[in-house]
Each structure stands twice: as structure tokens, then as C-alpha cells.
Amino acid sequence: MRYPNSFLWGASTSAFQVEGHLNGPSEPENNWGAWERQGLARRTARGADFWNLWREDLGRARSLGLSALRLGVEWARLQPQPTALLEPVALARYVEMLVTLRELELEPVVTLHHFTHPAWLGGDAWLSRDTPRRFAAFVRTLVDALARAMSERHVEPVRHYVTVNEPNALALATYVLGVFPRGLAKLGRRSFLTAMNHLMLAHLYAYRATHAVYQELNLERPVVTFNPWACSAYSYDRMLFDLLRPSTRDTGGSRAQWRESGLNRGLDKGVDKFFEWLLPSDAFRELASALGRHEDAVDSVAFDYYGPFLSEYVGARGLKVHPWEWPTSPARFSDYLLARTRGHEDLPVFVMENGIGTPGHGPEAGRRPDQLLREVALEQAIHALDESLSQGIDVQGYFHWSLIDNYEWGGFDARFGLYHVDYGPRAVRTAKPAVARFQSLIWERRLA
């Protein structure tokens, strides 16, 4: 089927995961720095070196036939000290990236927070009531600076912002699973709930700040959203979105619809009940009191789709498995899209991340236990998009995770990129077979 010319075919990256040059001597430090020094996570060092090789990677995105690229900004690099001023060299480079994207006719989608924060905020930053306001102040300063600088260069400012990437995954990984860095706080439900509250407040305040800047500068209204990790458990996924809209803030109806959608079968019914206990709607009292009665605090339906059916992880030895062991559910992607968007038909839909991991080393390098190939996974995902579009779901963008191999939260073993990265001195990129397949899938839908 033919897709609209305005459809955003994209790939995603994350600043900390691809830039390199963080947490070393005389380098900006984020909340992963302590774990790197203690040997609890592998040092990022140069990594994929996107900080220096970004221009070539943007060219790769263009030659692939993409029309958009999602990239992040590293808060610790832009604000290495608790000052209101942004580090000028880092700011100038991010501006150059965004201007170049415009020149290449690639729509920039900017992620303002992707799991990391400056080390000076402390290991338990999201347990502090001050952090959402600090983040919003940073966002306001940055968004204003980017918009002014891009306008001065005679290119259109950023139209799409993601405030907080996967707040549900960040809180769970930090305070329930314990696989992300934290300070002295104990693992458990109390810390998890506090972090979730503050991350959602951070989205709300950043949403307001971004819109305020664009209004003050008399710019076209941007699309500002957040992207939870897709999950079949209502409380852990869609509820977070429903709470931000006046039409669905009373979540009872949405919860009932979700359960009737068929997403929760067998063990997933129990998973849904568990998360209803772990994360009840009345736990978001701070968010509820901060929201205006008729305030709508999200501009699009956005999410990251990997393996949302947690019951499938039981057979994969639980949630703490290698990324190449994550179950995938391509056959149910369109079912999820339908359930996720019901009641929000007035908003555009963006798949901000979708992809699979493969092992990067050892005798099974490149091979998943389920033998699924990246190019096949891409085909399955895009066929699900075909079905969803034919059903009238207003999907306006698909972003593959990721453009290049990246630092996967503690190491380099898991490979998600369309382009392979050799983590040697030159960080050489090599196209994987999925590049050609993705390119053909895109062109088939442009020319149909």
C-alpha cells in the first residue's frame, strides 16, 4: 500500500549510547559514571564516536532513504555543572547536527531525556521533588537556544520533541530490577512509585516549557510527547498516557476497553493485575494536582514496541535476560496499535522505537536464539503498520532502533543497529543486510 508523502520513515539513536566521550577524565559525567568506575558497567569511552562521526551517520540515514532521524541531547554534556548556562561548544555542535538534518531534508526528532542525567544531581535524582523543575528549566533554556539558533541559520526549528524516553522502563530498571544505577535508595515499590511520579511530572513541566518557548517566539506549535515502553499491562503503559488527557483521566473506561481488547491472555492477565497493584492510578497524586482540569499534556501517541507481553519472558528466564533473548511479538503488533490508540483517534501515532537485538561476540554472533533476522523483523513490523493504516489508524511515523550499533546500558555486546560498528580506533560502520531490505520496504510504500 502507498503511504502518505508526509510519513516519517526514521531511525532512532540516544545521545549517551552513541556519542562516546563521557564519564572519562576531564569529560562530562552522567549518572552512569560511578558504575563505569566501579566496574559495574563497561566504560563507554569512545564507543561509536557519533560525537565526531555524526555527519557521516546523518549521510547514511539520508542514503538509506529515511525522511527523519531521532537523536538525543545529553543533559550532562550541555549542563556539566549546576548552572543556568549551557556549555557553548556542546550547544553549537547540537545546533550543527540539527541544521544539517534540515539541509539533508531529514526531519529531526529530539529526545530531551533518555535515561541519563548529570552526575551532580546525585544517583537518586528522580526521588527528589526538585528534579522535575530542574529538568524543565534545562529544557526551557535548551529549546529556546535551539529554536533561536536554527532560525538564525534560516532553517525551520525542531517540530518534534520527546520529553522523557520510557519513564516506565527507567523507574522499573532502577528501583525494581536494580539493573540501572541508583544512589543509596533501596529497591522496592516506594522508590519506584516516587520515581514514576517525578518522571511524569518532568514530562508535564517540559511539555509546558517547550510550548511556552514556541509561543513566545511566535513559532508553529510543536508536537511534544513522551514514549513509554509498550506493555500489555494497562497500568504500566497506556494509563500513563490516559492520565495526561482530560477525556481519559478517569481511567476506568480505558482500563475496561484495554482488557476487552484481547491483549491480556493467559498469564498476561496476572501480569496486568500485578501492575495494577504496583502502579495504581491514584498513586499519581502529584501529577493529578499539577494538571489543569482541562489540560491536555501530550500531542501524539508515541511508544517503543519490542516485546510487550511480559508472560513471554517467563519462558526466557525472566526480565533480566540479554537483549537478544527479548521475546518479540510481531504478529500482535497491529492488535497492540489498535488497543493503544482507541479513544485517542484525534492524535497522530508514532512508533518511536522498534527493533531486535543480536549478540555481537562469540560463536553465536549475529544469531538470536529464536533465529529471527533483523530484515525479517523489519518486514513483519512494517506489514503490521500496513494493516493498521488500512484500519484507519493515523500512524504518521516509524523509527527503527537503531541507526547504528550502540552502548546497550552496561556494555557493547547487544547489537541493534542497521549499521554494524567496529569498536576499534576508527569505529568503522558497515551496512547490515537489513539496510537494503529497509530501503526497499520504504520505496515500495512510496511508489505503490
Model pLDDT for residues 338-355, shown as the tens digit of each residue? 999 999 999 999 999 999
Q: What is the pLDDT of residues 371-415, one digit of tens each?
A: 999 999 999 999 999 999 999 999 999 999 999 999 999 999 999
Give the residue ranges of DSSP H helices in 104-175: 131-152, 167-175
Rounded Cα gap, residues 258 and 245, in angstroms: 17
Contacts of 16 (CB under 8 A, 6+ apart): 22, 30, 32, 44, 72, 74, 114, 115, 116, 407
Provide the grid cell at 128: 527528589
Mean pLDDT of all residues in 289-297: 96
Q: Are 360 and 412 in contact (CB under 8 A)?
A: yes
> What is the DSSP code string of 28-47?
--BTTHHHHHHTSS---TTT
**What distances in angstroms separate CA 402 from CA 252, 310, 356, 415, one per listed residue?**
36, 22, 9, 9
Say if residue 148's pLDDT is above 70: yes
| Coil, helix or strand at residue 140 | helix
Q: List the end-to-end C-alpha distance of the chain, in Å, as a whole number.
A: 6
Mean pLDDT of all residues in 159-174: 98
Confidence of residue 363 (pLDDT cuts 50, 70, 90): low
The per-residue b/e assignment along 226-235, b for 16 or more CB within 10 angstroms, e otherwise, is bbbbbbbbbb
Q: Is the dihedral of CA 381, 49, 27, 109 positive or negative?
A: negative
**CB atoms near residue 114 (< 10 Å):** 23
Rounded Cα gap, residues 176 and 362, in angstroms: 30
Q: What is the pLDDT of residues 116-130, one digit of tens each?
A: 999 999 999 999 999
Rounded Cα gap, residues 37 and 119, in angstroms: 13
Residue 265: phi and psi, rounded to 5, are -120, 145
At 315 the pLDDT is 55
Residue 111: phi and psi, rounded to 5, are -95, 125
Rounded Cα gap, residues 169 and 229, in angstroms: 6
Confidence of residue 138 (pLDDT cuts 50, 70, 90): very high
% residues pLDDT > 70 (the chain): 97
Beta partners for residue 8, in sequence order: 397
At 130 the pLDDT is 98
Domains contained in the chain, CATH given: 8-447 (3.20.20.80)
Say if residue 20's pLDDT is above 90: yes
Rg of the chain over CA atoms, in angstroms?
A: 20
Say if residue 267's pLDDT is above 90: no
Beta partners for residue 358, in sequence order: 415
Say if residue 362's pLDDT is above 60: no
| Cα angle for residues 19, 305, 198 (degrees, 5° grid) | 70
Average pLDDT value for the chain = 95
Rounded Cα gap, residues 133 and 138, in angstroms: 9
**CB atoms near residue 190 (< 10 Å):** 12
Q: Are 185 and 31 in contact (CB under 8 A)?
A: no
- pTM of the predicted structure, to 2 decimals: 0.96
Say if residue 308's pLDDT is above 90: no
At 32 the pLDDT is 99
